Amino acid sequence: MDKVRVIEIKKSVFAENEKDADELRKDLKDRGVFLLNLMSSPGSGKTTTLIRTINLLKDKLRIAVMEADIDSDVDAIKIKEATGIQSIQLHTGGMCHLDAEMTRQGLEGLDLTDVDLVVLENVGNLVCPAEFDTGSVCNAMILSVPEGDDKPLKYPLMFSVCDVVVINKTDVLPYFDFDLDKCQEYIHMRNPKARVIPVCAKTGEGIDAFAGWLLEEVNIWKQE
Amino acid sequence: MDKVRVIEIKKSVFAENEKDADELRKDLKDRGVFLLNLMSSPGSGKTTTLIRTINLLKDKLRIAVMEADIDSDVDAIKIKEATGIQSIQLHTGGMCHLDAEMTRQGLEGLDLTDVDLVVLENVGNLVCPAEFDTGSVCNAMILSVPEGDDKPLKYPLMFSVCDVVVINKTDVLPYFDFDLDKCQEYIHMRNPKARVIPVCAKTGEGIDAFAGWLLEEVNIWKQE
């Protein structure tokens, strides 16, 4: 297996995360780097969705990935092997989320020359990551069918901070009591503007819609 | 729908959670109340597993349930309607876990006269709840098949603090790349003593094994 760079993230010393996130966003804007923060529960398919998306976009955008995890480096290796792009692993030392300063520590481990888009795969958790602005331009989340259509009722903040909700594992819809319309309705209760994109990362179905959304967001942001 | 009691949990003022948890454990022992802390990711099937388990055990043990959630009271209502037992909802006000003092606040909302077993359904999260001793006698967790067999590699602390790991949604094993043997091996890497019990809460398969384990734990503890 390939080796990947592993960065041990230290706890932030800054109390004012929002201010720090705005500064990081500005720094990245000056450097022409779009940061996407991707969140979800454990096991919802973030890495597989990301691999499919990168392979659709890598001829159009220069992409790098930071994989945050409590432990292990399996995801960063998977991304590197499956896409060939720059991929590093961030170890959070048991911490359940990333804030702007921790994201900045991760970014320092990447070579950002000639990079248009950095995807931060946040820690698998529907609670804490939603509370901390990472400095990203957009927040995306993945909800997978087996988790249930009621998740927007139970984790309101996560759904309200995301610009797009990808509903993954649509191939197993026949085996679960998951009502796609009801789920969309719950998501829009939390966040009327959220885009909802059903996909199946395993087969690739729907990934073009997510990749298209992301490419458009990057292009609009570049022209701002 | 039935109404259930909802308790708004306040943030703990105690710095020494471990000491506080030991005290709560002692208090509960004096009152003859066994506390089980049940953890998992969002949507792994905690509530369904619990309903099946309670219905198998409610003639043998007097059971009450505390459902912790960021928001909503759907789980406590479900439990009450499906089992008829005492069930209350704890709102954590955005907090991602429960500690011993927060658990104590919840317990004060229950009538513990004639109760043998209280099940605390913790917030759906594989990270933070593992870090805080709630004062429980045992910790149990549910890992569902769609989340993937690699979760013990990624969330080491959760698996190392649990006495039993219930592997749920075995009915969908044919549709996912989930290796039950490999998962057991990963769990035992983290915690050689952990009991692993495959179940399908939807059909009830395997629930007797989990209920049997729990009944035995309560009986052993009563005789200690």
Domains of chain B: 18-142+207-223 (3.40.50.300)
Beta-carbon separation of B69 and A154 below 8 A: yes
Beta-carbon separation of A124 and B128 below 8 A: no
Distance from CA of A220 to the nearest CA of B (A): 33
Shortest CA distance to B119 belongs to which of B72, B164, B171, B168? Answer: B164
Q: How much of chain B exceeds pLDDT 90, in percent?
A: 85
Q: Within an 8 Å CB–CB cutoff, is residue B151 touching chain A?
A: yes
Q: Within an 8 Å CB–CB cutoff, is residue A69 touching chain B?
A: yes
pLDDT value of position A95? 82
pLDDT value of position A139? 98
Mean pLDDT of B154-169: 96
Judge whether residue B7 has pLDDT over 80. no
Contacts of A212 (CB under 8 A, 6+ apart): none
pLDDT value of position B181? 98
Facing B175 at nearest CB: one of A124, A156, A175: A175
pTM, two decimals, is 0.88
Judge whether residue B1 has pLDDT over 60. no
Structure tokens at B170: 């075995």
Structure confidence at residue B105 as a pLDDT band (50, 70, 90)? very high
Q: What does pLDDT average to over chain B?
A: 93
pLDDT value of position A70? 76
For residues A118, A119, A125, A128, the Cα torsion angle rounded to the nearest 10 degrees is: 30
Q: Is A92 helix (H, G, I), strand (E, B) or coil?
A: coil
Structure confidence at residue B69 as a pLDDT band (50, 70, 90)? confident
Structure tokens at B166: 């219930």
Distance from CA of A35 to the nearest CA of B (A): 24
pLDDT beneath 50, residues of chain A = 1
CA terminus-to-terminus distance, chain A: 41
* Per-residue buried b or exposed e for B137-153, using 16+ beta carbons within 10 Å of the residue's own CB: bbbbbbbbbbbbbbbbb
More reliable by pLDDT, B159 or B11: B159
Q: Which of residues 167-196 of A touch B (CB under 8 A)?
A: 169, 171-172, 175-176
d(CA A95, CA A124): 11
pLDDT value of position A196? 98
More reliable by pLDDT, B98 or B71: B98
pLDDT value of position B12? 64
Contacts of A94 in chain B (CB under 8 A): 127, 131, 157
Query: What single DSSP character describes residue B93?
Result: T
Q: Which runs of E-coded beta strand occur in A115-205?
A: 117-121, 138-144, 164-168, 195-198
Q: Within an 8 Å CB–CB cutoff, is residue B144 touching chain A?
A: yes
Residue pointed to by tokens 């991929």: A87
Element (H, E) at B182: helix B180-190
Judge whether residue B190 has pLDDT over 80. yes
Q: Within an 8 Å CB–CB cutoff, is residue B77 touching chain A?
A: no
Q: Are strands B5-8 and B34-40 parallel, antiparallel or unpaired?
A: unpaired
Q: How many CA atoms lie within 13 A of A20 on its CB side?
A: 17
d(CA A7, CA A9): 6
Facing B175 at nearest CB: one of A72, A125, A172: A172
What order do you get walking across the sheet with B117-121 strand by strand? B5-8, B86-91, B63-69, B117-121, B34-40, B138-144, B164-168, B195-198
Q: How many CA atoms lie within 13 A of A23 on its CB side?
A: 11
pLDDT value of position A50? 97
Contact at 8 Å (CB) between B25 and B135? Answer: yes
Facing B43 at nearest CB: one of A125, A147, A156: A147
Chain B's closest residue to A155, CA to CA, is B70
CA B221 to chain centre: 17
pLDDT value of position B2? 55
Contact at 8 Å (CB) between A50 and A61? Answer: no
pLDDT value of position B73? 80
Shortest CA distance to B195 belongs to which of B178, B212, B179, B171? Answer: B212
Mutation target to probe the B interface, by most B beta carbons within 10 A, among A1, A126, A131, A161 is A126
Residue pointed to by tokens 């359940």: A96
d(CA B73, CA B56): 24
Facing A42 at nearest CB: one of B123, B126, B157: B126
Contact at 8 Å (CB) between A92 and A11? Answer: no
Shortest CA distance to A66 belongs to which of A31, A115, A20? Answer: A115
More reliable by pLDDT, A71 or B55: B55
pLDDT value of position B70? 76
